[in-house]
Amino acid sequence: MSVYVHSVSMTKFGNSENTSLKDLMLAASREALEEARELKIDAVFVGNYMGGSLANQEILGAIVANDLGLGPIPTAKLEGACASGGIALRQGILGILSGEYESVLVVGVEKMKHASTATVTQFINSAMDQTTNERYAGLTFPGFFGVVANRYFYETGANKSHLAKLALKNRENALQNPLAQFRKPATLEEIMNARMITDPLGLFDCSPITDGAAAVVLSRKPSDIKILASAQASGPTMMQDAIDLLSLPAIRISGQQAYEKAGVSPEDIDVVEIHDCFSMTEMLAIEELGFFPKLEGWLAIEQGKTCVNGEKPVNTSGGLLSRGHPIGATGVAQFYQLVLQLRGHAPNQLEKQPRLALAQNLGGTGSYSVVHILERV
């Protein structure tokens, strides 16, 4: 049995001051359902991380079923920090593969902009083990990737300019994406000199606080987009437990499993959406996914290999850094961009219409990684 993508949708990412979490979720769901009207939805999977803590709203699945007239079908919310959306997609796929459902709706959503940066930083910290000395030391998420970046610089020839170049690539991609949060051009100099968040990561190295939602309808009924593989792996929940600080094993393992299931290799992938919560994260991920040798991702960045016209285009949507990162929606929004690429009408559409696409969604300090491979059939 195979699973196919029937429709994708996403809201404009950014500041949705006057729209509730619920309305964002319903808007994306509705658009995806409209495009797949011929299918009867058998279950709903919602990717969301902070609905309870930041928007005081849970029971998201039941709200979708009720307000969109889907009937008394089963629903669930999936949480895996920033990988919540990817995990929701995977649970939808597994539900179809089990034979229990024919068609499912997967929607990812987050509403964050109404809270202060300090509050959001505090709640995001719940994606690290909060019972240990690491929490008490005052480590944050950007802090973790700052520590990783300084070590990466120490062990390679890379420096802050390589991270800046990567961030600039994603910003330039977002300029062409009407749904992206940041559509204002930036310069390398501006990125290099921006306000420091967690040394050496500055403002442009960190994904923003974003409101937004994205949705996908999946079915065992054939369509033009087939899901070739869905894989997920776990990794350390603390920085001090990383065996190799410059490796995110969950990405490597979920990638390897996905390639094996799909019967393809990294060289076969035409277009990629990677979880660039920080510029440093994309650097490690392009290595862990086998696109470039370990500790040589910075050379690929220097040579522009991950640009839209490069040999391995990464984050043609603008990525988390510039498309925006409404946490629970991110994994689903990756599908949105890739399906558009495969169908030939994406922002930053590749000149040669791609056939194979890979999405990688990360949660925590490499605690969760989900990889999906899509094929145009």
Partner 1 sequence: MKVYECCGVESVTKKVYCSTCRQEIKNEREVPDEGTVYSYTVIHIAPADYAHLAPYTVALVQLKDSTAKLTVRIQESVQIGDPVQLDQIADGTYIYQKVRTA
For partner 1, the closer CB: 2 or 119: 119
Nearest CA among 83, 369, 81, 367 for reference residue 235 = 367
Q: How far is CA 188 from CA 167, 194, 204, 303, in A?
A: 9, 10, 10, 15
Q: What contacts 175, CB < 8 A, 6 or more positions away? A: 183, 185, 318
Positions in the binding site for partner 1 (CB under 8 A): 116-119, 121-122, 125, 132-140, 142-143, 146-151, 154, 195-201, 238-243, 245
Q: What contacts 283, CB < 8 A, 6 or more positions away? A: 152, 158, 162, 163, 166, 297, 298, 301
Q: How far is CA 176 from CA 96, 169, 260, 306, 336, in A?
A: 35, 12, 34, 16, 15
The distance of closest approach from Cβ of residue 123 to partner 1 in the complex, given in angstroms and rounded to an integer, is 9
Q: What are phi and psi of 113, to 5 degrees?
A: -65, -20
The distance of closest approach from Cβ of residue 178 to partner 1 in the complex, given in angstroms and rounded to an integer, is 29
Residue found by looking up tokens 């802090």 in the block: 143
For partner 1, the closer CB: 137 or 188: 137
Q: Which amino acid is located at 243 in the chain?
A: I
Q: How far is CA 291 from CA 145, 171, 265, 307, 360, in A?
A: 21, 21, 9, 13, 13
State how far Cα 92 lies from the chain centre. Answer: 17
Q: How many CB atoms lie within 10 A of CB 196?
A: 12
Half-sphere exposure (CA, 13 Å, Cβ side) for 206? 22
For partner 1, the closer CB: 241 or 260: 241
For partner 1, the closer CB: 39 or 248: 248
For partner 1, the closer CB: 84 or 198: 198
The distance of closest approach from Cβ of residue 145 to partner 1 in the complex, given in angstroms and rounded to an integer, is 8
348: left (phi over 0), alpha (psi -120 to 50) or beta: left
364: left (phi over 0), alpha (psi -120 to 50) or beta: left
For partner 1, the closer CB: 28 or 280: 280
Enumerate the active-site residues.
Answer: 82, 325
The distance of closest approach from Cβ of residue 177 to partner 1 in the complex, given in angstroms and rounded to an integer, is 26
The distance of closest approach from Cβ of residue 124 to partner 1 in the complex, given in angstroms and rounded to an integer, is 8
For partner 1, the closer CB: 1 or 118: 118
319: left (phi over 0), alpha (psi -120 to 50) or beta: left
Find the angle CA(55)-CA(175)-CA(357) to the nearest 5 degrees: 80
The distance of closest approach from Cβ of residue 194 to partner 1 in the complex, given in angstroms and rounded to an integer, is 11
